[in-house]
Amino acid sequence: MFTTLLGAQISAEEINTLKVATFNVSMEATNYKALGMEPSDEVLQHVLSTGEHSQVKNIAEIIQRVNPDILMLNEFDYIADKSKGVEAFVKNYLNVSQRGLEPVDYPYTYVATVNTGEPTKFDLDNNGKAEGFGGDAYGYGLYPGQYGMALLSKYPIDVDSIHTFQKFKWHHMPHPQVPVIPDKNGNTGQDTPWYDVEEWAALRLSSKSHWDVPVKVGDKTVHILAMHPTPPNFDGSEDRNGKRNYDEIRLMADYLSPDKGTYIYNDNGEKVSLTENARFVLVGDFNAADIGDKHREGVIEQLTEHPLVNNDTIPTSAGGAAVSGAEFSNRFTAYWGARADYVLPSRYGFHVNDAGVFWPAKTSDLYRLVKDREASSDHRLVWVSLSLEQDK
């Protein structure tokens, strides 16, 4: 059995290493206000068509320097026409040498609709107005597809076997964390539900989407499990975003085990979960810190301490270490001081060779690539290098 990679034929036996990365690239319309365009997916389409935007060129340079085989992008606006969206990014930026670097190619890509900016008829943020967008959308967004997701791969994607969970209803999760307004007098049982009955029945759990994208790496299948849970802030005492973040992460944790994920259905209404002994890599901006700033005990631990997940090798960087004097700051992936972005492989089927966060120190010539959000993003690219072990 052979697979074609960048024009060369490689036997399945020769494919034994895999570098997987995630990168919140801040490529959504409000990051390009200087263009003077109204926020919509047309803003990113324009940026991608030119090949000349400095922030995107820096994003491309970072990707070329790390050169992952599989790359998850968060905050990459959903554009239905891939030739104007993710494929334009590959063609006009990644296939073009940045600063003399070797271009990279991703012949296989996947994008799909997300809940951000998808309008509802409800006043979900309880500001007295049902506006459809913003806080009243299924996931916070000013227009459909804002803060979207895209997967890039050097290896074939098994498109027919993809599962998405954009429309899974929050109330269908067993024992969900229901947001309530605490009783002012502290009376137990007198709390007021944040969402009314009709809203709660309709509300989707995923703020963007949850994906299971199988990638064919030689004769093996690697499930890329991608998500971008909502930030656990921008709310009030009801903690609706914090509770949603917890349950978004829980959905993926339950999906890993057939016994835990029996309640989960995909966007086709089919009950699905991973089978035993599946190779997987969890990727994305999970908006949940494992230590330090904004760490909420027991949230990200649903994944990092999951028996099927390998969190033994934590990606680090010199730049992150300089953010504060704390001993754990070298694991930060976001400029404000937190590990928010994750690449977590399964314990089954992989050996972890190395891992890192692209965050050069201020003394490095490459610091120009990460000095602020205008340079690239407020998040850093995180990568893990894996060896694929033989099936047992």
Q: What is the pLDDT along the chain (392 residues), one digit of tens a residue?
A: 334 444 444 444 456 899 999 999 999 999 999 999 999 999 999 999 999 999 999 999 999 999 999 999 999 999 999 999 999 999 999 999 999 999 999 999 999 999 999 999 999 999 999 999 999 999 999 999 999 999 999 999 999 999 999 999 999 999 999 999 998 887 767 789 999 999 999 999 999 999 999 999 999 999 999 999 999 999 999 999 999 999 999 999 999 998 999 999 999 999 999 999 999 999 999 999 998 777 899 999 999 999 999 999 999 999 999 887 777 899 999 998 999 999 999 999 999 999 999 999 999 999 999 999 999 999 999 999 999 998 87
pLDDT value at residue 11:
46
**367 has which bridge partners?**
none
pLDDT of 294: 76
How far lies 238's CA from each of 212, 293, 349, in Å? 31, 21, 41
Phi, psi of 184 (to 5 degrees): -60, -25
φ, ψ dihedrals at 319, nearest 5°: -65, -40
Query: CB-based contacts of 297: which residues, under 8 Å, 6+ apart?
Result: none
3-class secondary structure, 71: strand
238 close to 226: Cβ distance less than 8 angstroms = no
Beta bridge partners of 225: 212, 282
- Report angle CA 286, 375, 360 to the nearest 5 degrees: 75
The confidence score (pLDDT) of residue 299 equals 97
**What's the pLDDT at 15?**
66
Question: Residue 1: its pLDDT value, please?
Answer: 37
What is the structure's pLDDT at 104?
98
CATH 2.40.50.100 is the classification of domain 14-388: no
- Pairing relation of β-strands 220-227 and 279-285? parallel
